[in-house]
Amino acid sequence: MNFKRVIFASFCLFFFQQTFAQRNYEGYNFLGIQGGISFFDIQTDDLVTKQEMGFTAGFTTRGAFRNDFDLIYGLSFQNSSVGVEGSLGGDTQNISYTIQGAQINFLGSYNIVVKHLSIEFGPVFSINGKMKLDRDEYEDYILTGYQELTAKDIQDISRFNVRLAAGLTTGLEHFRISAQYQYGLTNILGGLNGNDLENDNFKGNSSTIIVSGVIYF
């Protein structure tokens, strides 16, 4: 799968949704730019992981739907980090990996206070690259719990994942702060299976906390 083509297609889908919203929603409809920090981890029994901080940036729309509900469409780019424990010759390290990708979200929003306080929930579709090892010097470290599995062996994770998101947004009409939790419904480590590794039944679900700000126009 060509990652650049996927990103381009995501852009087209996002702006199509924005045009559709402008034509069909009554009341307000905002286009926004958002950015923030993320805290990413993988919940798994197969690796010893550590949550690490990354960042996110992208575009979002918010449009009045019906009664106290809004609809939100968003496209964002993620730079996530996670640590995995490994050792070599008695030297134990938290080995850092970076995962770059793009997300499309389709969220419903219930307004507790219209334009100022709302609860969001809905699906997120994520397309990402490898879980890339940050420092090559750790590529031969043996991961905790294994005899042969090395840090370089676990980079080819699943490229497409589905997450469920829920969060809270508060602020002013044109500037808001959001806290959101995303849980992976699909097996993010599934791409490792079938590669003749020491473990051929990896299971793991992503867990992400995102704190961000958005400016609406």
Range of the domain at 70: 3-216
| Residue whose C-alpha is closest to residue 47's, from 208, 204, 213 | 204
Q: Indicate the helix (H) or strand (E) that contains 4.
A: helix 3-24
Q: Please, are residues 32 and 61 in contact by the beta-carbon 8 Å criterion?
A: yes
Give the tens place of pLDDT for each residue, 75-120.
999 999 999 999 999 999 999 999 999 999 999 999 999 889 999 9
Count the domains in the chain: 1
pLDDT given at position 106: 93
Give the tens place of pLDDT for each residue, 147-184.
999 999 999 999 999 999 999 999 998 999 999 999 99
Count other C-beta atoms under 10 Å from residue 172's C-beta. 10
CATH number at residue 64: 2.40.160.20
